[in-house]
Structure 1
Amino acid sequence: MKKTLYLFCFLFFFCFVSTSAQSHKLLFETPYGNFKVLLYDFTPNHRDLILNAIKTDVYQNALFNRVIENFVVQGGEHDIDIEKREAADPMGHKPRLSAEFDQRAYHKMGALGAGRDNNLEKASFLNQIYFVVGKPITESELDALEQKKKLVYTAEQRTYYLQNGGQPRLDNDFTVFGEVYEGLDVLINMSKTKTDKGDFPIKKIPFQITEIKE
């Protein structure tokens, strides 16, 4: 019980620090419950992309369609559908949004990221998002990732990952542009849903997004 209380206090502290200077927040409504997300102003292109998507109903009738426990909950346009659509385009268009990497935006529990394919620029899909549900991380794992990825985790990143877990192996490969600041338990519960061999939830998980006006 004490460990659980400490974890949520720690998460609240980091959320408070991160959210204090940001200007846009979103509400996600799902059958599992609702959760709230902060968008980072220091990843402005991805922030504006999803804000515009909300205004133009891009995520109307959207689903969380790829769920992997201890990894991610992914929604919006699926990789398979993107590949089919782009393959059918006679002009061969593959629209992407350039990556926005920032040391303040990393794959902590509840991080909001943009999906992508294997393009060399690490540019993001326009209509696919994911949330990190993560797993415990050890110091030796972080050390190995620093060697492999040729990066150095900040003191904040290292402290957070060791205390709470996440998915640091995705850092500097996928753009993180926000984080859950309320209702993380909803996502964790969702990540445990039954799926088929392709990680599709057996029972559909629709979601709606609205911007929180304060």
Structure 2
Amino acid sequence: MPTNIKISTTEGDILVSLYDETPAHRDNFIKLAREGYFDGTLFHRVIKDFMIQGGDPDSKGAPKGKRLGTGGPDYTLPAEFAYPQRFHKRGALSAARLGDEVNPQRESSGSQFYIVWGKTYKPAELKQMERQMAMQQEQQVFDKLARLHHDAIMDLRRKRDRAGLQALQDQIIADTKAECKAMGRPAFTPEQTHAYTTMGGTPFLDNQYTVFGEVIEGLDVVERIQQCATSPDDRPLNDITMTVSVIEA
């Protein structure tokens, strides 16, 4: 049975259902909620038509102008991508994290989370996004295979063997195409397409950040929060605090 969480804010209550497909994130969020970890924290980062973010313990009682967004417990969580079943539709609860350049495994923050608002997309926009996803997939596979051949590439370069380099590049390209064909071309499911063209969301975050729950009541509260006035660093001008509790079955 799904676990429900109530996020009580100064703008109203948000009821969230946590997914069983992401057990580490579900159990961690429940643990922190029961400990009162989130109580008194702020929605410290709000971007209109995108998302609202909270869960930084350093935001408790934070004075105006204090830089926020780096706090959390002394651990991260391994990514749990339950994609494409769980995706970034409007109301999705997702884990924040550091960027790929310093976090290639895409591990999640131990406490920071965001709730998606996003926008609605036209079918043609999603098709264009699918083409971009296919290009990214091909580039990622190529880069992976190139790393596996790193020593051979460096040896050929030292020898200035242009013919050998070209032959190896051709082989990597052929292997890339074969692997991508086996993986299948990235495409939105009918459920995703319906959600993104009617409800809205942030499809470009799919399979990049762990989605571990969704709002089942209180989307109007999320809407009000994402519309609030913010400073240049995206912090609401008027603090929006929260308490988080577990709804026991």
**TM-score when scaled to structure 1?**
0.81
Aligned partner of 2:89 in structure 1 is: 108
**Comparing both structures, which one devotes a greater share of its residues to helix?**
2
Whichever residue aligns with residue 97 of structure 2, its letter is: R
Aligned residues: 186
Q: 8 Å contact 2:34–2:246 — kept in the other structure?
A: no
Aligned partner of 1:176 in structure 2 is: 211
The residue matched to 1:66 in structure 2 has which SS? strand
Aligned partner of 2:189 in structure 1 is: 154
Whichever residue aligns with residue 14 of structure 2, its letter is: F
| Greater alpha carbon shift after TM alignment, 49-58 vs 196-205 | 49-58
Q: CA deviation at 1:166?
A: 0.7
Equivalent residue for 2:41, pick from 50, 59, 62: 62
Question: 2:119 and 2:209 mapped to 1: Cα distance?
Answer: 17
Q: Which has the larger radius of gyration?
A: 2
Q: CA deviation at 1:167?
A: 0.6
Q: 8 Å contact 2:52–2:226 — kept in the other structure?
A: yes
Whichever residue aligns with residue 111 of structure 1, its letter is: A
The residue matched to 1:54 in structure 2 has which SS? helix
Whichever residue aligns with residue 55 of structure 1, its letter is: R
Whichever residue aligns with residue 43 of structure 1, its letter is: T
Question: What is the percentage of aligned positions where both structures have the same residue?
Answer: 36
- Name structure 1 gaps, 5 residues minimum: 1-21, 87-92
The residue matched to 2:28 in structure 1 has which SS? helix
The residue matched to 1:67 in structure 2 has which SS? strand
Q: 8 Å contact 2:15–2:217 — kept in the other structure?
A: yes
- Name structure 2 gaps, 5 residues minimum: 60-66, 135-185
Q: 8 Å contact 2:46–2:226 — kept in the other structure?
A: yes
Equivalent residue for 1:145, pick from 129, 135, 141: 129
Matches within 5 A, 1:18-57: 22-57=1-36
Q: CA deviation at 1:164?
A: 1.4
Aligned partner of 1:89 in structure 2 is: none
Q: CA deviation at 1:56?
A: 2.1
Q: 8 Å contact 2:19–2:212 — kept in the other structure?
A: yes
**TM-score when scaled to structure 2?**
0.70
**Closer, same or farther in 2 for the Cα pair 1:82/1:190, shift >3 Å?**
closer
The alignment status of 1:71 with 2:44, answered yes or no, reads no
Whichever residue aligns with residue 112 of structure 2, its letter is: Q
The residue matched to 2:109 in structure 1 has which SS? coil
What is the CA deviation profile of residues 42-99 of structure 1, one whole-angstrom value per residue up to 9, with x for unaligned ones? 111110110111122221311100001100000011796565x79xxxxxx9732111
Question: 1:193 and 1:132 mapped to 2: Cα distance?
Answer: 15
